[in-house]
Chain A
Amino acid sequence: MLINNGFNEDKIQSPLGYIWSIFKTKTIAVVAMWLIIVLIIVSLFAPWFVPHSPLAQNPESMLLPPYWVEGGDINHILGTDDLGRDSLSRLFHGLQLTLGGALLITLLVGIIGMLIGAAAALTKGVKASVLHHLLDALLAIPTLLSALILITIFGPSYTNCLIAISLSLLPQFIRSSFLAIEQELSKQYIVAIQLDGATKTRLFRYGILPNILEPTITIINRLFTMAIIEIATLGFLGFGAQLPQTELGSIIASSMELIYLSPWLVTFPGIAIFTVIIIVNVLSEGLRHAVLEGEE
């Protein structure tokens, strides 16, 4: 990238800056990024700008269809539910719990998982062996099952559901990050750093971390996707957010019996989940490509 600012000199960019400059050329990915930012802001500040409170009932306008369908009302763009509550407002509030929860889980599990994964890859002997066997055992328990176990023990609530999902996604994430790091460890430049006498933390920070960016993006994207699906699934099964909390999965569950009368009550939350996952996936694909091109 040439910057002609009078000195006619190439400005050397940092690696991250370079990747960023590549990323900026990918229009779809940039759009996805902006959409994500908008979504996060929207769901964070939903209470301030949605037209109706998600719990405000209105017996005058129950089960309105979306406004473009005959009988719809422009005040309720996506219609209302069986208690006359505005679907759009409920959707944004639902997004707050679903998307927010998923982001929180991604952040927590991402950091903890990466640390444990690194520790597992960098240590040898009994400690590592114990960790591996434990991981193998935990990995053999499907996420839904482990979530059910934790929720049975601690009782269904939104917080417990988040904890359960984190705990069940953690082993998977540890494993993926472990594999990514171990693959990197076998490369020769790492051996070179090791020969230099670098400590383990230094090895990890300067040797491994910058080079596992690409696989990390993939596994974090996967982590996020699974987290959002699991939150919605548990909410749908009645083990997650409890009424009157609005979570996309639980909105779908509570509208199930109205599916023939007012199918959009079930359709929109599903589309919302779908859209969020698509956007994040597009963003992560864009990032990954940028990183790959940057490395080449």
Chain B
Amino acid sequence: MRLICLLFFITTLSGCYQNKALTQNTLIYCTESLPTSFNPQISHDIASLDATTHQIYSRLVTIDSKTNKFIPDLAESWQRSDDKLRYRFTLRSNISFHQTDFFKPTRFLNADDVLFSFNRMLDYQHPYHMVNNQAENYFYNHPFTNLLSEINKIDDHTVEFVLVKPDVTLLANLAAHYAVIHSQEYANQLIQQGQPENLDFQPIGTGPFKFKSFDSNGTIRYKKHALYWQSMTNIQNLIYFTNPSATKRYTKLLSGECDAISYPAASQLETLSKNKNITLNSKSTENIALWAFNTKRDILKNYQVRQALSQAIDKKTILQAVYFQSAIQTDTLLSKQSWALKPRFENDQYDPDKARQNLTLLNYDFSKTLTILLPDSSDVFNPNFHKTAELIQANLGDIGIKTDIINLSGAALKARLRSGDYDTYLTGINVHINDPDSIFRPLLSCNSTAETGNSSHWCSPKIQVLLDQSLTESNFAQRIKNYYQIQDEIYKQRPYLPIAHVLRLDAISKSILNVEVNPLTGINFQNAIKQDLN
């Protein structure tokens, strides 16, 4: 009886426990992982970009999502000089930086802020150059180094970018996530306080939302930036909440505790797409799931062995069982959207009998147990490493190869990768910049270690030369040609078996309108509108 009373009490309570006035202007986005910093100049992982690029910061120019044309953002307009070497940007006036507990701006945005933001990356003597270990991933942070010779301040509202040589990619680079504008005044204040590292963790920008707090439980809070120059949003409080469990995120979306979630579990996609209250937003990305062969191992040294093993893997089933509809099966490292992709007419064939025959011809030692190393947790490019490994194990079992699945986490995994004591590794790569180099270099460069991506310990002088050449190559056609060569060579050599290109997925409640997702720069709540569906 009391139990019934209690249940009755619960049901009556449940209806009214949420405060309508507060929920109406609050948007909660539940994400998979925490940002590594709040500055897209130094962190290129998608979680950091989601949390910063469009929310906190603005750039000089942006790309219109519909027309794919460059449109002005902080820059009102720009002119190119006749020799195509100088770009002059006129800055918008009366743009104010965020006013927060930790910083009160005294002036509007001007040319000094632009200079500061770019010089931090370009100028080795810059006081902020080394802050927060930028030097460690030097290469990826300096897309402008080969592009720009100098940046000049013409007057308070005009800056001039001088190129090394004519290059059309300047605007694209300025629209990329790493070209955000910081406040120089704030940076100076931090130097005075002796805490320059806070620039990247207590950010100040000019974007539609200002940073409020971040706690280690995984909650990031933003407030609307009241002085934002073109805000359309009715969201007063933006909250990010990190929960690595896809099921939990989905549950919270259903119960209304999250308004939008990133990466709903692959297995829930079917139910999600049937749900009338939820929009499923999917964008194809360059992110790829791979199976890496450790080419330093005797047993895998021969490329024909690697080819034969690739033949034995039934990718179709992996796609079905692991990814459901959240990825596209692939045979190439580059995705279909990449301009450097060499069209390929013959596909990988799943043919276990042939694989076994080939291996027998190659005198492959079937008595050896092959190890499959994998990370303990899931990642954006693979929702379930272990399940994938089990499928591969079954495939290899069919052709008579015994396998051992080893899943490790954190430090133990890194140590194992460093030691090179594994035969194969289930991995993948997150691509942040729409450039083939950003996928080939970590995977194939001799300078890249297993921890930074080269888990096949691949090092070939030929490919290294091609990689380095195409990076500085100014002739676009030649660059494409180089990348075609790399792809041919890699397809033959098979240091990696590409499995799938993963989709960027976000499930958003129907009550939220105008959320844009850009697979390269992150999610954008700038124009988000929350409406009352009831």
Using a CB–CB cutoff of 8 Å, the interface residues on chain A facing chain B are: 57, 59, 62, 82-84, 242-244, 254, 256-261
User: A83 to chain B: closest CB distance in Å?
Assistant: 6
Quick check: B321 and A59 within 8 Å, CB to CB? yes
Contacts of B268 in A (CB 8 A): 257, 260-261
Quick check: A59 and B314 within 8 Å, CB to CB? yes
Quick check: B390 and A257 within 8 Å, CB to CB? no
Contacts of B405 in A (CB 8 A): 243-244
User: A162 to chain B: closest CB distance in Å?
Assistant: 21
A124 to B97, CA, bound (A): 76
B184 contacts the other chain (CB 8 A): no
Which of B40-48, B126-134, B242-250, B423-431 makes up part of the contact surface? B242-250
Quick check: B271 and A260 within 8 Å, CB to CB? yes
Contacts of A82 in B (CB 8 A): 267, 321, 387
User: B36 to chain A: closest CB distance in Å?
Assistant: 25
Using a CB–CB cutoff of 8 Å, the interface residues on chain B facing chain A are: 245-247, 250, 265, 267-268, 270-271, 314, 317, 320-321, 383-384, 386-387, 390-391, 394, 405, 407
A261 to B383, CA, bound (A): 15
* CB<8 Å pairs between A and B, sample of 18: A59-B317, A62-B320, A62-B321, A82-B321, A83-B390, A84-B321, A242-B407, A243-B405, A244-B390, A254-B386, A256-B245, A257-B247, A257-B268, A260-B250, A260-B268, A260-B271, A261-B267, A261-B271
Quick check: B390 and A258 within 8 Å, CB to CB? no
Quick check: B267 and A258 within 8 Å, CB to CB? yes
Contacts of A57 in B (CB 8 A): 390-391, 394
User: B474 to chain A: closest CB distance in Å?
Assistant: 48
Contacts of A258 in B (CB 8 A): 267
Chain A interface mostly: loop
Contacts of A242 in B (CB 8 A): 407
Contacts of A243 in B (CB 8 A): 386, 390, 405, 407
User: B531 to chain A: closest CB distance in Å?
Assistant: 26
Q: Knowing A243-B407, A257-B265, A259-B247 are in contact, say whether A83-B391 is a contact too (CB < 8 A).
A: yes
A258 to B265, CA, bound (A): 8
The residue among A62, A82, A242, A256 with the most chain B CB atoms within 10 A of its own CB is: A82
User: B397 to chain A: closest CB distance in Å?
Assistant: 9
Quick check: B394 and A260 within 8 Å, CB to CB? no
Residue of A nearest to B386 (CB): A243
Select A257's contact among B267, B317, B394, beta carbons within 8 Å: B267
With A260-B250, A261-B268, A261-B271 given, name 16 new contacts (CB 8 A): A57-B390, A59-B317, A62-B321, A82-B267, A82-B321, A243-B407, A244-B390, A256-B247, A257-B245, A257-B246, A257-B247, A257-B267, A257-B268, A257-B384, A260-B247, A260-B271
A54 to B390, CA, bound (A): 13
Select A260's contact among B245, B267, B383, B407, beta carbons within 8 Å: B267
User: B75 to chain A: closest CB distance in Å?
Assistant: 45
A19 to B235, CA, bound (A): 73
Quick check: A59 and B247 within 8 Å, CB to CB? no
Contacts of A257 in B (CB 8 A): 245-247, 265, 267-268, 383-384
Contacts of B390 in A (CB 8 A): 57, 83, 243-244
User: A166 to chain B: closest CB distance in Å?
Assistant: 26
A81 to B382, CA, bound (A): 19
User: A254 to chain B: closest CB distance in Å?
Assistant: 8
A259 to B265, CA, bound (A): 11
Contacts of B317 in A (CB 8 A): 59
Residue of B nearest to A256 (CB): B247
User: A71 to chain B: closest CB distance in Å?
Assistant: 14
User: A148 to chain B: closest CB distance in Å?
Assistant: 15
Quick check: A59 and B271 within 8 Å, CB to CB? no
Quick check: A83 and B387 within 8 Å, CB to CB? yes
A59 to B265, CA, bound (A): 20
Contacts of A261 in B (CB 8 A): 267-268, 270-271
Residue of A nearest to B324 (CB): A261
Residue of B nearest to A60 (CB): B317
A84 to B320, CA, bound (A): 11
Contacts of A83 in B (CB 8 A): 321, 387, 390-391, 394
User: A128 to chain B: closest CB distance in Å?
Assistant: 44
User: B372 to chain A: closest CB distance in Å?
Assistant: 12
Residue of A nearest to B271 (CB): A260
Contacts of B386 in A (CB 8 A): 243, 254
Contacts of A84 in B (CB 8 A): 321
A259 to B271, CA, bound (A): 11
User: A262 to chain B: closest CB distance in Å?
Assistant: 8
Quick check: A59 and B245 within 8 Å, CB to CB? no
Contacts of B267 in A (CB 8 A): 82, 257-258, 260-261
Contacts of B250 in A (CB 8 A): 260
Contacts of A244 in B (CB 8 A): 390, 405
A91 to B394, CA, bound (A): 20
Residue of A nearest to B395 (CB): A57
A260 to B251, CA, bound (A): 9
Contacts of B407 in A (CB 8 A): 242-243
User: B139 to chain A: closest CB distance in Å?
Assistant: 36
A243 to B265, CA, bound (A): 20
A257 to B270, CA, bound (A): 13
A82 to B322, CA, bound (A): 8
Residue of A nearest to B269 (CB): A261
Residue of B nearest to A85 (CB): B390
Residue of A nearest to B409 (CB): A238
Contacts of B270 in A (CB 8 A): 261
A200 to B270, CA, bound (A): 70
Contacts of A59 in B (CB 8 A): 314, 317, 320-321
Contacts of B246 in A (CB 8 A): 257
Contacts of A256 in B (CB 8 A): 245, 247
Residue of B nearest to A82 (CB): B321
User: A52 to chain B: closest CB distance in Å?
Assistant: 13
Residue of A nearest to B318 (CB): A59
User: A31 to chain B: closest CB distance in Å?
Assistant: 29
A224 to B203, CA, bound (A): 55
User: A284 to chain B: closest CB distance in Å?
Assistant: 26
Contacts of A259 in B (CB 8 A): 247
Residue of A nearest to B376 (CB): A238
Contacts of B387 in A (CB 8 A): 82-83
A256 to B265, CA, bound (A): 11
- Give the top 4 A-B pairs by smallest Cβ distance, nearest first: A59-B317, A57-B394, A257-B265, A261-B267
A258 to B391, CA, bound (A): 17
Contacts of B384 in A (CB 8 A): 257
